Structure 1
Amino acid sequence: MAARLVLILVFTCSTLIFVGGTILDYDLLLDSSAEEMLENEGDIQIESSRDQKSNRRDGSGGIWYRAFRPIFPQLPPITEPPRPSTSCSAPPSGGTIPPCMSQTECNAQGGKAGKACGKGFSRGVCCDFDYIVDCGNTTSLPHAIFRNPEYPETTKSTISCTINVVPKPTACGIRIEFMDVMLAPARNGFCFQDMFMIAGGGTVENSGFNTQICGLVKGFATVVPINETTDPLQLIVIAQSKNAKWNINVTQIPCSSAFTPAKTICGVRNNPSLQARSLQTSQSYKNQSLKELPRTFPQPRILGGDPTNGNQFPWMAVILFDNTPVCSGTLIDARWVITAAHCVAFYEEENQSVMNRLRVWLGALNIDLMPRQEPRRVERRVSRVYVHNEFQSTDFDVALLQLNESVPFTVAIRPACFPQNKDQNFEGTTGIIAGWGTDGSSMSNVLLAGSVPIWSNAACNIAWSAQSLNIRDSMICAGDGSVAQCRGDNGGPLITQNGDGLFSFIAISSFSAQPPCQNPDFPDVYMRTSSFLTWISLVLSPPLPADSLSPFTPIVT
């Protein structure tokens, strides 16, 4: 037994001595070439780290461990790819640098979205305008853009810029939209520093230089009627303020796209003897309305006439500026209201968009009530204002308001009809006027209406000669002083009943003699609707399809 213990002890000691010698003496495991390699590796790769990590990692076998660990290839440093430029640059062929704007704004201005630009909330697209017409050039494109050379920056020096627009043989009008225009404001009603003008083009009664426009006119527009004999239009901007800019869409309106009133119910006056509530549930309310004869108004006790009830005139519109009623208007289509130009042409306003300050109410009766108190009332914003291209003072005082969305036709909201006979002068007949204007002291809170006699233009000219005012063929005179339009009634309709029982707006209320309201010596003056039918039709024409846009190619003349 003792002998066995001695043998086990000897065997164990021999094993430990052998293993220890193997671990401590790496020469037993390596040949001479391996030793050289380890020495080189130790000099190059291990020396720097040995001092720092020897206490933690080195031991009697530390050299063996480092010598035989895997050697991985060194990867090249990672470099971040260059970021794309956040600014727009001129095309390789040269030209102007496209502006950076949102894609929505680019599309609205007729541009073509290019590469991304900007940062953060200002991120957008470089908007290319291939059909920009430079100063001094001529275009016959269906769609072109007229802007100052520095746009979107303002002018840096005095500039006079003119382009020529050659009407196509198939065009009946030129649409001019002020997408972004900032000119010096007018003073005392006159443009004295900066101005935009249109030269040429056929209008209601003449051709030549059209109305001068200045101020902040973003959102406004106009249409110039043309015919096959019309010379090229000249669009002229004179900027002396050195702080002006303009970006104007110019579109040719094909004769084939001219607006035609939709075959929808129009000119139906609600029966004042019926409650509006019963009309909504009556299956034959249209026929009942058609049979209703014009109401005979008694001698009015107020300037505007008698109060109405039951939405008798469902085409009446209230026009508000900064939430204050300023004028009346007439609904002529689901998205269009016609009124007087002087009600909405606030070109002198600076630093605020007029479009954001205009509102239109339809289906209203009492304008002092809150909208929730009149559930049939509908409010719309104004997306664009078309002012007649020759509007100035008392001439061509017509404007069309394009609503931001259509209004539903209900018992309280329906359009008036256009005149059936454009050659009828209506002299000697009786018309009806309505509005929320003053009754001699303050604005009326309810819609007032009254009957007025319609004068001949010859008699009206004689009456107004004392005021040195020429009554044009495009005007109508009405009233004898007993019932008269007053402040707040301007822009409203003069209506008559057709032979089929429907009501048409034959004129738009424009101006009165001084002192205003109920002046028996001078009839009130209205703009004759039939004289503006061509202009109205062109304004209401649908826009050109997108595929009609093409790059600008100057025409050599």
Structure 2
Amino acid sequence: NGQDAVPYSWPWQISLQYERDGTFRHTCGGTLIAPDWVMTAAHCISSTLTYEVVLGEYDMSSAEGPEQRIPVAADDIFVHPKWSSFCVACGNDIALLKLRRNAVLNDYVQTGQLPPAGTVLPNGYPCYLSGWGRLSTGGPLPDKLQDALMPVVDHEQCTQPDWWGSLAIRTTMICAGGAEQAGCNGDSGGPLNCQAEDGHWEVHGIASFVSALGCDTPKKPTVFTRVSAFEDWITIANNS
């Protein structure tokens, strides 16, 4: 429940697609963090599927020209070693994909900047989630990239018993949004984009999970992996 993004305004946003019946289908979002590296959520990855990354995408229903489709080899998918699909609330929902070839950077395709390690944004800080996720719980998938203003809900607030509570939320996560705007199926893995004081954009979060009660449940903001908590691992994986 966002709005159509301004075309190509989030040039680091990628579509992670998997092959089925000879065609590739959108499953998750992600962020281009280097010309040959994409960051997404670990829960987006299945070891049995074949993936490719689509960059420079805006309207999924038409070939607009700037799209770059780059395959990902199975050996080049690095899921965080402490990730467990049986415990999403345990955190570590992050994966890196090395692209078969470098992306061509241009007006439509850029790398996203990561925040300084350890950065924690204050309550109410305005960020934007971008993605091709469902427009509402059980609703249709949009063709055009959406974005939604999602203010940060700080750790103290998000861990209140009537919110997510302290069992579900770790300090390595960010809560953002609320009942009015939320991530939904298909947004997973995508970036939480926050503007730094000097005007440049940083990717602070990776969309991880929403409430099983629905995408826009009150007091259950969208939960993101906090990128600034994993920069050491990102660096190690990039160099491996």
Partner of 1:389: 81
- The code of the aligned residue for 1:359 comes to E
Q: CA RMSD in A?
A: 1.4
**Cα deviation, residue 486, structure 1:** 0.4
1:441-480 alignment, distance < 5 Å: 441-462=139-160, 463-465=163-165, 469-480=167-178
- The code of the aligned residue for 2:34 comes to D
Q: Please list the CA deviations of residues 196-232 of structure 1 after superposition, one character each: whole Å capped at 9, or x if unmatched.
A: xxxxxxxxxxxxxxxxxxxxxxxxxxxxxxxxxxxxx
> For structure 1, which runs of at least 5 residues remain unmatched after alignment?
1-302, 544-557
CA–CA separation in structure 2 for the residues paired with 1:511 and 1:520: 15
CA–CA separation in structure 1 for the residues paired with 2:70 and 2:176: 31
2:159 is paired with a residue whose SS is helix
For the pair shown, the structure with the greater C-alpha radius of gyration is 1
Contact kept in structure 2, 1:362 and 1:378, CA below 8 Å: yes
Partner of 2:115: 419
**Cα deviation, residue 421, structure 1:** 5.8
- The code of the aligned residue for 1:508 comes to I
Of 115, 122, 135, 1:439 maps to 135
Q: Please list the CA deviations of residues 452-505 of structure 1 after superposition, one character each: whole Å capped at 9, or x if unmatched.
A: 11111111111113xx73311100101111111000000001111112211000
When normalised by structure 1's length, the TM-score is 0.40
Partner of 2:238: 540
1:464 is paired with a residue whose SS is coil
1:133-532 alignment, distance < 5 Å: 303=1, 305-322=2-19, 323-344=24-45, 346-347=46-47, 349=48, 354=49, 357-369=50-62, 373-383=63-73, 384-392=76-84, 393-394=87-88, 395-420=91-116, 422-440=118-136, 441-462=139-160, 463-465=163-165, 469-532=167-230
Give the number of the structure whose residues are more often helix, by fraction: 1
Q: State the structure with bigger RCO (CA 8 A, min sep 6), 1 or 2.
A: 2
> For structure 2, which runs of at least 5 residues remain unmatched after alignment?
none
**Cα deviation, residue 359, structure 1:** 1.0
CA–CA separation in structure 2 for the residues paired with 1:426 and 1:315: 24
Contact kept in structure 2, 1:309 and 1:365, CA below 8 Å: no
CA–CA separation in structure 2 for the residues paired with 1:334 and 1:514: 35
1:427 is paired with a residue whose SS is coil
- The code of the aligned residue for 2:170 comes to R
| Identity fraction in percent | 30
Aligned length: 226
**Cα deviation, residue 310, structure 1:** 2.8
- The code of the aligned residue for 1:413 comes to V
- The code of the aligned residue for 1:334 comes to P
